[in-house]
Amino acid sequence: MGISISDLRSGRESDQTLENLLTALSLNLDLRARYRVFEFEAAQEGHSDVAQLFAELRRMEQQQIAELLAGLRTRLGAEFETQKELA
């Protein structure tokens, strides 16, 4: 079972870097989902060039999401290591 973005936000002391990573990830996930809808609507209206644009933007957004997840894993891993050292 995974952990949600809200789980990561709750129960933590103020960590602006973590908050920024989570906010960026949330916004990118929302935007990627919207691009799929925009792509569908453009295609339905016969604007295949615009539909292709939204498809490409969605692919680019996926890369950004992957990079944000890597940054989040690194940040949480560093936090975990610090907690182990303090214990």
Domains for the chain: give ranges and CATH numbers: 16-86 (1.20.1260.10)
pLDDT the model gives residue 3? 63
Give the integer Cα–Cα distance in Å for 77 and 48: 43
22: confidence class by pLDDT, cuts 50, 70, 90: very high
Q: What is the pLDDT of residues 30-78, one digit of tens each?
A: 999 999 999 999 999 999 999 999 999 999 999 999 999 999 999 988 7
Q: Nearest to residue 57, comparing CAs of 40, 37, 32? A: 32
- State the pLDDT at residue 78: 74
What is the pLDDT confidence band of residue 15, given thresholds at 50, 70 and 90?
confident
pTM across the whole model: 0.71
